[in-house]
Amino acid sequence: MQLMQKYKEVPYWWYCVLFFGGIGLNIGIAYANSSQLPWWGVIFAIALSSILSLPLNLIGAVTGTNFGLNVFAEMICGFILPGYPIANLYFKTLGYNTMSQAGLMAKDLKIGHYLKVPPRWTFFNQMVGTIIGCFFNYLVNKIIVDNETEILLIPGGNQFWSGVSFQTINSAAITWGAVGPMIMFGPNSRYYIILWAFIIGLVLPLPFWLLHKKFPNAGFQYINLPTFLMGLCVLPGANTSWITNSFIIVVISQFYLKRRYTAWFSKYNYLLSAALDSGTSIMVFFLSMAVQGGGNGIAYNFPTWAGNRDDLPYMDYCCATCE
């Protein structure tokens, strides 16, 4: 802490320039792309996300689970701008990413604090990485979409490519934007019970909080319903092999290393986490461009190993012999 106090903090006006500059840039993008989202819609989406960023990111910091505003933002936009699916898509993007990027920025600043990196250099690296990431993300997505359009339009995709996430985003925009929440989830609709989930989610933690007050030593304080319910949300997906990999890493890190090698955990755990994220991103870029047919349209078979044998059913990995 004393070492970090010797460094100059990031000036407040740097964040102000970044924040208001981002608002202006997003308003320009919304009008340039004919998104049908008015200027006040952009400001409202960012303001809504800014207000909810603190409580949701606090929960994320305590539990290690990130909570998004995508569904809530879609519902709000569906009420204020019904019949505009593209506007709903833009509104959700702003509402979700503002909070998400704020949490990621705070996370990076915390890592910089642990590693004794000057705050201004951490801020500079964040900005440079974001700008470079914009171009690389656009480049990779464009190359993949141009070369794998037919596969991406298939509901399940294949072992190399899948357009499920894009199809989900498109379906959500149609549901909340084109159809609208009142028609889909209104009092007389088939799915009216879904909106009750907001009230249920608000009330559900209260019994455990009261039980903790009544029996403070019974362990009710360890019951975290947002984390439990978020865990249920990740299960019904198209590809679930990533859950196994994540679980293995979590057990090794939080259960084994934190208990047996506390000093090593305190010094290197967050650095290892950043290295795993960075390494994965770099490998996805190179694999997408050179190996799995993203760059030149030619897909090379994945090497055969014990985890992708031909005789294993229900393949959720890169198959060695799949065409």
32-65 pLDDT, tens per residue?
A: 888 889 999 999 999 999 898 888 888 877 777 7
pLDDT of residue 138: 85
228 in any annotated domain? no
Within this chain, do residues 199 and 246 fall inside the same structural domain, yes or no?
A: no
Axis crossing angle, helix 39-63 with helix 85-114, rounded to the nearest 10: 40
Per the structure, how many domains does the chain have? 2
234 in any annotated domain? no
Of 175, 203, 231, the residue that ends a domain is 203
* Cα–Cα distance measured from residue 74 to residue 89, given in angstroms and rounded to the nearest whole number: 8
290 is in which domain, residue-wise? Answer: 239-323
DSSP 8-state symbol, 162: -
Within this chain, do residues 160 and 268 fall inside the same structural domain, yes or no?
A: no
SS3 238: coil
* CA neighbor of 40 nearest in space, from 98, 93, 81: 81
Q: Is the pLDDT of residue 74 over 70?
A: yes
Cα–Cα distance list, 211 to 58, 203, 226, 286 (Å): 23, 14, 17, 52
Within this chain, do residues 304 and 197 fall inside the same structural domain, yes or no?
A: no
215 in any annotated domain? no
Neighbours of 75 (CB within 10 A): 19
Half-sphere exposure of 201 (CA within 13 A, CB side): 12
The per-type count for the chain, helices as H runs and strands as E runs, is: 15, 0
Q: Which amino acid is at 243?
A: I
Within this chain, do residues 187 and 71 fall inside the same structural domain, yes or no?
A: yes
**Which residues have C-beta within 8 Å of that of residue 49, sequence separation ≥ 6?**
69, 73, 94, 95, 96, 97, 98, 99, 102
Within this chain, do residues 197 and 245 fall inside the same structural domain, yes or no?
A: no
Burial of 34 (0-12, 13-18, 19+ CB in 10 A): exposed
pLDDT tier for residue 310 given thresholds of 50, 70 and 90: low
Axis crossing angle, helix 262-286 with helix 119-147, rounded to the nearest 10: 40
Residue 25, H or E segment: helix 12-32
Within this chain, do residues 185 and 286 fall inside the same structural domain, yes or no?
A: no
Neighbours of 195 (CB within 10 A): 17
Residue 55, H or E segment: helix 39-63
pLDDT of residue 210: 92
130 in any annotated domain? yes
Of 203, 223, 256, the residue that ends a domain is 203
pLDDT of residue 187: 81
Least confident range from 214-223, 259-268, 280-289: namely 280-289
pLDDT of residue 320: 46
Half-sphere exposure of 173 (CA within 13 A, CB side): 17
CA angle, 295 then 298 then 301, to 5°: 115
Within this chain, do residues 167 and 246 fall inside the same structural domain, yes or no?
A: no
Within this chain, do residues 95 and 40 fall inside the same structural domain, yes or no?
A: yes
In Å, the largest CA–CA distance within the chain is: 65
Q: Is the pLDDT of residue 218 over 60?
A: yes
232-270 pLDDT, tens per residue?
A: 777 665 556 677 788 888 899 988 999 999 999 988 888
Q: Is the pLDDT of residue 214 over 60?
A: yes
Neighbours of 317 (CB within 10 A): 14
Of 181, 203, 225, the residue that ends a domain is 203
Tokens for 208? Answer: 């455990």
Within this chain, do residues 193 and 295 fall inside the same structural domain, yes or no?
A: no
149 in any annotated domain? yes
285 in any annotated domain? yes
Burial of 199 (0-12, 13-18, 19+ CB in 10 A): exposed
230 in any annotated domain? no
Half-sphere exposure of 115 (CA within 13 A, CB side): 17
137 in any annotated domain? yes
Half-sphere exposure of 8 (CA within 13 A, CB side): 5
Within this chain, do residues 156 and 13 fall inside the same structural domain, yes or no?
A: yes
Place of tokens 């879609």: 74
Q: What are the backbone angles phi and psi of residue 302, rounded to the nearest 5°?
A: -75, 145
